[in-house]
Amino acid sequence: MQKIGLLLILVGVATIVGYQIYAFVEWVAPLLPWPLRVAIAAPGVGGILILASLIRERIKGSKEEREKFKGVDR
């Protein structure tokens, strides 16, 4: 249940933030040349990739840790 709740929160926040970024770019885009638009988007895409890799690494580490202590009684 906690994972589903966290997923719903993340999807909601990502949707709101994504829409705000989209609205800002649509408002400013006609005034900017395309290389500058790409330069504005690049840090956001990079941040998302880093966040995804950290989440993936954490999940993988958690699974390895569970396997390590599988035979240990609580």
Pair (73, 37) in one structural domain? yes
**CA-CA distance, 74 to 14, in Å (whole number)?**
38
CB 28 within 8 A of CB 39: no
Buried b (16+ CB within 10 A) or exposed e, 18-37: eeeeeeeeeeeeeeeeeeee
Pair (42, 26) in one structural domain? no
* CA diameter of the chain: 64
Tell me if the pTM is above 0.85.
Answer: no
Structure tokens given for 2:
């906690």
pLDDT digits (tens, 9 = 90+) for 10-63: 899 989 988 888 887 788 777 878 888 788 788 888 888 998 899 889 888 887
Pair (7, 37) in one structural domain? no
Better-predicted residue by pLDDT, 35 or 65: 35
Pair (44, 19) in one structural domain? no
